[in-house]
C-alpha cells in the first residue's frame, strides 16, 4: 500500500492556546486516539523501552490486549528493558512475556534495515526522551523516520513530556560534527518534545535525500512545558531521577575527560570527581553495579569532588562545573582526554578551544547567540504545546 507523504497531527486544541488544567495524559495513554487507526493494519512494529507505559501496563501489553497486530519490537540504546549501560551493544532477542522478537537498533545497525521493515504496515514510536541533543533516542527517531519514509509506511509518535523542555540553550551543532550523539543542527537543550522534533526533522528535510516520513503525532493532554513533572520510570539506567536529568546536559561533557560523573554509584549524574583531592572534599567510590557493570571509570578508587544531589542553583545548562574542574586540574592541556568525543558532544571544535583558552562562560555564551536565535525562531513553527 502506498501513501502520499504528509504530516498528520492529532491536535488536542484548536485556535489559541488555552489555560492548561487537569491531569497530564501522555500520547500513549490516549488510546482512543490511535487504537482505531492501528487496528486497520495487519503487521505493526513498535519502538519501545521500559518507560513505554500506559498507566501501569507496558505499551506492548496494552496493544496486544486491544487486538493490535504487533509483529516486532525495536529496542534503542539501553535495551527494551532499559537495563543496559550506556554505549554497550544491545542484542536481538525474544521478549519472554509476549514472545515477540526484539530487534536491536543499538547493535549491528542503528537504522532498521529493509529486511527488518519487510512486511510492516505501520510503526509506533514511544520512547521517553530527556530533551538533550546527545541523548541518543532522538537519533533513533531520525533513523526510524528514515526507514518508514523509505518503506512508505506511517509512523505514529506517541508523545511524552520533555523534562528539560522549559528552555533552549547551548551551542547549535555544526554539520561537520554530525554523529549518533548529535545528528541535527539543534542546541544542546532544544526545548521540544519528540513529537515536536519529529515535525522539525520532517519539515526541515533533514532525512537522507530530503525524504518525508508520513507522521501521525499523538499529542499529550494538559501538557505545559514549563511545569516540572517527575518521570514515573527512569529513561535509562544512569538517569534515575529528576535531579540527574536536569544536571545531565551540564555534566555529560565530563564523559570526554577522566572525571567521573558517578557511574557505578547510586548517584549517577549527581556527583562529579576523580582520584585527586584537589577536586573537592566530597568522596565516592565507583563500583561495578547494574547499569555500570563493565568497569566504570575509576572503579574501586576514592574520587574527590562535588555532591550535587541537593544543588538547586544549576537547574539549567551551564559550563560552571566543567570550568571549575578544569581550573583545579594539575594538567589543563590533558584535562579533555578525548577531544574528538568532546567536539561531537559540543557539536563544534570551538567550545573546547574556548574552554582551554580560559574564556568566561559569558564570553562563550555570546558566541552561541546568533545560531541560537535562528533556532528559536525556527522552533516556533513546530511547537504543539503552549
- Answering whether pTM is above 0.85, one says yes
Kindly state whether residues 252 and 120 are assigned to the same domain: no
Pull the grid cell for residue 261.
560523573
Of 231, 266, 289, the residue that ends a domain is: 231
Helix axes 137-151, 194-203, angle to 10 degrees: 50
Give bridge partners of residue 304 from the DSSP assignment: 274, 283
For residue 365, is it within any domain?
no
Kindly state whether residues 101 and 215 are assigned to the same domain: yes
For residue 385, is it within any domain?
no
DSSP letter at 36?
H
Q: How far apart are CA 146 and CA 144, in angstroms?
A: 5
Kindly state whether residues 57 and 87 are assigned to the same domain: yes
Kindly state whether residues 40 and 140 are assigned to the same domain: yes
Domain hosting 272: range is 242-348
For residue 354, is it within any domain?
no
Pull the grid cell for residue 296.
566504570
Strands 155-158 and 122-126: parallel
For residue 386, is it within any domain?
no
Of 231, 254, 275, the residue that ends a domain is: 231
For residue 359, is it within any domain?
no
Kindly state whether residues 279 and 339 are assigned to the same domain: yes
Kindly state whether residues 261 and 219 are assigned to the same domain: no
Kindly state whether residues 284 and 223 are assigned to the same domain: no
Q: Under a CB-based contact definition with an 8 Å cutoff, are residues 46 and 124 in contact?
A: yes
Cβ neighbours for 355, distance < 8 A, ≥ 6 positions apart? 319, 322, 323, 326, 336, 364
Report pLDDT for 77: 83
For residue 188, is it within any domain?
yes
Cβ neighbours for 227, distance < 8 A, ≥ 6 positions apart? 20
Give the CA radius of gyration of the chain: 21
Kindly state whether residues 275 and 199 are assigned to the same domain: no
Report pLDDT for 140: 97
Collapsed DSSP state (helix, strand, coil) of residue 22: coil
Q: In this structure, is the dihedral angle defined by the CA atoms of residues 128, 17, 380 and 154, taken in order, positive or negative?
A: positive
Of 231, 261, 286, the residue that ends a domain is: 231
For residue 363, is it within any domain?
no
Q: Distance between terminal CA atoms of the chain?
A: 36
Kindly state whether residues 40 and 152 are assigned to the same domain: yes
Kindly state whether residues 255 and 124 are assigned to the same domain: no
For residue 368, is it within any domain?
no
Looking up cell 547549535 gives 172
Kindly state whether residues 122 and 153 are assigned to the same domain: yes
Pull the grid cell for residue 102.
526484539
CATH number (domain holding residue 69):
3.40.50.12170
- In the chain, the number of structural domains is 2
Kindly state whether residues 179 and 277 are assigned to the same domain: no
> What is the residue-level pLDDT of the chain in tens, covering all 386 positions?
333 333 434 433 323 333 445 799 999 999 999 999 999 999 999 999 999 999 999 999 999 999 999 999 999 986 676 445 555 566 668 888 889 999 999 988 999 999 999 999 999 999 999 999 999 999 999 999 999 999 999 999 999 999 999 999 999 999 999 999 999 999 999 999 999 999 999 999 999 999 999 999 999 999 999 987 789 999 999 999 999 999 999 999 999 999 999 999 999 999 999 999 999 999 999 999 877 667 899 999 999 999 999 999 999 999 999 999 999 999 999 999 999 999 999 999 999 999 999 999 999 999 999 999 999 999 999 999 98
Report pLDDT for 89: 60
Count of Cβ atoms closer than 10 Å to residue 275 Cβ: 15
Amino acid at each position: 500500500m502506498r501513501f502520499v507523504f504528509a504530516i498528520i497531527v492529532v491536535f488536542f486544541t484548536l485556535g489559541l492556546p488555552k489555560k492548561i488544567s487537569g491531569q497530564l495524559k501522555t500520547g500513549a495513554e490516549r488510546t482512543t486516539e490511535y487504537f482505531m487507526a492501528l487496528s486497520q493494519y495487519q503487521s505493526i512494529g513498535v519502538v519501545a523501552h521500559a518507560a513505554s507505559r500506559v498507566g501501569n501496563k507496558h505499551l506492548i501489553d496494552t496493544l496486544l490486549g486491544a487486538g493490535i497486530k504487533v509483529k516486532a519490537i525495536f529496542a534503542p540504546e539501553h535495551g527494551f528493558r532499559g537495563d543496559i549501560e550506556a554505549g554497550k551493544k544491545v542484542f536481538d532477542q525474544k521478549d519472554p512475556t509476549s514472545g515477540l522478537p526484539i530487534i536491536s537498533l543499538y547493535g549491528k545497525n542503528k537504522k532498521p534495515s529493509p529486511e527488518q521493515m519487510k512486511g510492516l504496515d505501520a510503526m509506533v514510536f514511544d520512547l521517553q526522551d530527556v530533551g538533550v541533543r546527545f541523548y541518543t533516542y532522538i537519533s533513533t527517531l531520525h533513523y526510524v523516520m528514515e526507514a518508514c519514509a523509505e518503506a512508505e509506511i506511517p509512523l505514529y509518535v506517541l508523545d511524552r513530556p520533555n523534562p528539560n523542555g522549559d528552555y533552549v540553550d547551548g551551542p547549535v551543532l555544526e554539520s561537520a560534527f554530525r554523529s549518533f550523539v548529535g545528528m541535527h543542527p539543534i542546541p544542546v537543550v532544544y526545548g521540544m518534545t519528540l513529537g515536536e522534533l519529529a515535525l522539525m526533522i520532517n519539515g526541515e528535510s533533514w532525512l537522507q535525500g530530503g525524504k518525508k516520513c508520513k507522521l501521525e503525532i499523538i499529542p499529550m493532554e494538559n501538557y505545559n512545558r514549563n511545569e516540572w513533572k517527575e518521570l514515573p520510570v527512569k529513561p535509562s539506567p544512569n538517569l534515575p531521577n529528576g535531579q540527574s536529568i536536569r544536571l545531565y546536559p551540564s555534566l555529560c561533557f565530563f564523559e570526554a575527560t577522566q572525571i567521573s560523573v558517578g557511574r557505578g554509584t547510586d548517584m549517577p549524574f549527581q556527583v562529579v570527581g576523580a582520584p585527586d583531592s584537589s577536586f573537592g572534599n566530597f568522596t565516592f567510590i565507583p563500583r561495578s553495579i547494574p547499569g555500570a557493570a563493565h568497569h566504570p571509570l575509576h572503579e574501586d578508587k576514592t574520587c574527590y569532588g562535588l555532591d550535587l544531589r541537593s544543588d538547586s542553583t544549576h537547574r539549567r545548562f551551564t559550563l560552571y562545573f566543567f570550568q571549575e574542574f578544569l581550573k583545579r586540574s594539575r594538567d589543563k592541556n590533558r584535562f579533555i582526554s578525548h577531544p574528538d568525543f568532546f567536539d561531537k558532544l559540543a557539536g563544534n571544535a570551538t567550545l573546547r578551544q574556548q574552554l582551554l583558552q580560559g574564556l568566561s562562560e559569558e564570553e562563550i555564551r555570546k558566541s552561541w547567540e546568533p545560531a541560537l536565535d535562528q533556532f528559536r525562531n525556527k522552533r516556533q513553527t513546530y511547537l504543539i504545546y503552549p
